[in-house]
Amino acid sequence: MSRTLKLLFLVLFFAVGLFAAEAKLVSVKTSDTSVVLEFSSPVSSDDIKQNKLDNPQNKSTYRSFFDIRAVSMIKPQSFTKTKLFDALKVSQFDKEHIRVVAVLDTHDKLVYRIDGKSVIVENEQKQSKEKQDTTKSQDNSTKSENTKNEAAKDVLSNLNLESDKKQESTIEPSLVNNSQPQVPDKRKIIVIDPGHGGKDSGAIGINSKKEKNIVFAVAVLTKELLEKRGYKVLLTRDGDYFVELQDRTRFADSKGADLFLSIHANAVDLRHSDPGKAKGVETFFLSPARSERAKRAAEKENGPSMDVMDSITKGAFLNVLNREKIVASNKFAIDIHRAVLANLRAKFKDTVDGGVREAPFWVLVGAQMPAVLVEIGYITNPDEAERFDNPIFRNLLARGLADAVDSYFENN
Ligand SMILES: [Zn+2]
């Protein structure tokens, strides 16, 4: 080792010593809206590193970490469930960092801000969360609240900082060296559901056209457009394979989606109907509607998985739909319908308005967000079947769907 290098090391050694963590954690306070960490001196955002890890024990929660360059002057602190988190622990992580670990519902995201000597951790979507909680507390009995608190305690007892450390280095080593604070992802999440897939071709139309292929092409175009407009878009299937109906909304729920859009193409039974007559765009949202017309509309898309449920189970599913969700889905359906018709008619003036309707579509049951099913036209109609192959028609459709998402968020 050269003399200069030795000198450099010496200087570095002192520099590290000089700038080593000086901030001292003196107190931690939690409330339903925030966690306030009080330090002896101001903390800079360069001293805070935020990361997250999936919770292997429970897929509906994850862990959010904040590593703060500081020394704790207090004992490790543990907190059980508040409106903000399922569980939270604050303790010294290594010589220079304290670690705040929160167990969160996958729908929630914590962010931090610095206020003088305080670091305040709070929910990114505080307002929407509070709204949810009002509904929750109306629906839930005290008993289920207690069960939840018990569960939260279990979660807390599993919160082992040592194992967190191990996971970090073995599962996601990139997290360790990532000194950039994570930018919170505030994009709205749209789940697009191309109907059918794989062994389920959906309806078969003129020239043996398959519904599954047409709706997939439109879904991909819509995804690309929405992504250009800044949305985060996920498809329930990204290829030609079969997905169970209930797994489609379950996927949307697990991703914390803001909107769910199922795309289908309509058909009539060619043996009994005039294929030229049935045409146009129809948009549906889920409601407990029991009318014969609504039932008929849903029958084709529901398929066997709805048939195997007895009528009591079906009724029970539909009865849990809350009024607020139906109204939101209705609004989204109107936006979809208007925007799709407006875009298509710019080029295809004769596009028929099949109306916005409520119907008990099984694929929409279980969605925690506004959910709509659009039938983009009839593949049994010669004109419409031909248009489905036309790139101009497909692009206009995609633009209509993307415009609808924009206008939904502008107004709601
Ligand atoms: Zn379909």
Half-sphere exposure of residue 133, counting CA atoms within 13 Å on the CB side? Answer: 15
Please report the pLDDT score of residue 317 as a whole number: 56
Claim to verify: residue 380 and residue 237 sit in the same structural domain: yes
**Is residue 7 situated within a structural domain?**
no
Claim to verify: residue 65 and residue 154 sit in the same structural domain: yes
The mean pLDDT value for 125-142 works out to 46
Claim to verify: residue 318 and residue 205 sit in the same structural domain: yes
If one compares 149 and 89, the residue with the highest pLDDT of the two is 89
Pairing of strands 281-286, 371-378: antiparallel
CATH number of the structural domain spanning residue 52: 2.60.40.3500
48 CA to centre of ligand 1 in angstroms: 49
Please report the pLDDT score of residue 292 as a whole number: 66
278 CA to centre of ligand 1 in angstroms: 15
**Is residue 388 situated within a structural domain?**
yes
As beta bridge partners, residue 105 has 61
**Is residue 13 situated within a structural domain?**
no
Please report the pLDDT score of residue 286 as a whole number: 82
349 CA to centre of ligand 1 in angstroms: 25
305 CA to centre of ligand 1 in angstroms: 14
201 CA to centre of ligand 1 in angstroms: 9
Claim to verify: residue 249 and residue 300 sit in the same structural domain: yes
Quote the number of domains for the chain.
Answer: 2
Please report the pLDDT score of residue 288 as a whole number: 67
Q: Is the pLDDT of residue 106 over 70?
A: yes
Q: Which tens digits make up the pLDDT trace of 383-397?
A: 999 999 999 999 999
**Is residue 173 situated within a structural domain?**
yes
Q: Is the pLDDT of residue 115 over 80?
A: yes
Name residue 89's amino acid: K
Claim to verify: residue 349 and residue 309 sit in the same structural domain: yes
Claim to verify: residue 55 and residue 79 sit in the same structural domain: yes
364 CA to centre of ligand 1 in angstroms: 12
Query: What is the CB neighbour count within 10 angstroms for residue 86?
Result: 26
Between 91-105, 138-152, 284-298, 349-363, the lowest mean confidence (pLDDT) is in 138-152
Of 156, 151, 166, 60, nearest to 102 by C-alpha is 156
What's the CA gap between 20 and 148, in Å, rounded? 41
Claim to verify: residue 99 and residue 198 sit in the same structural domain: no
Of 265, 282, 297, nearest to 388 by C-alpha is 265
> Cβ contacts of residue 121 below 8 Å, gap of 6+?
34, 35, 36, 37, 66, 100, 102, 110, 111, 112
Claim to verify: residue 231 and residue 291 sit in the same structural domain: yes
CATH number of the structural domain spanning residue 356: 3.40.630.40
343 CA to centre of ligand 1 in angstroms: 22
Rg (Cα) of the chain, in Å, rounded? 27
232 CA to centre of ligand 1 in angstroms: 24
Pairing of strands 259-266, 371-378: parallel
101 CA to centre of ligand 1 in angstroms: 44
Claim to verify: residue 331 and residue 364 sit in the same structural domain: yes
Question: Residue 298's domain spans which residues?
Answer: 189-411
Can you spell out the DSSP letters for 255-272?
A: TT-SEEEEEEEE---TTT
> Cα 6 from chain centroid?
53
Supply the mean pLDDT for the chain.
Answer: 79
Please report the pLDDT score of residue 135 as a whole number: 44
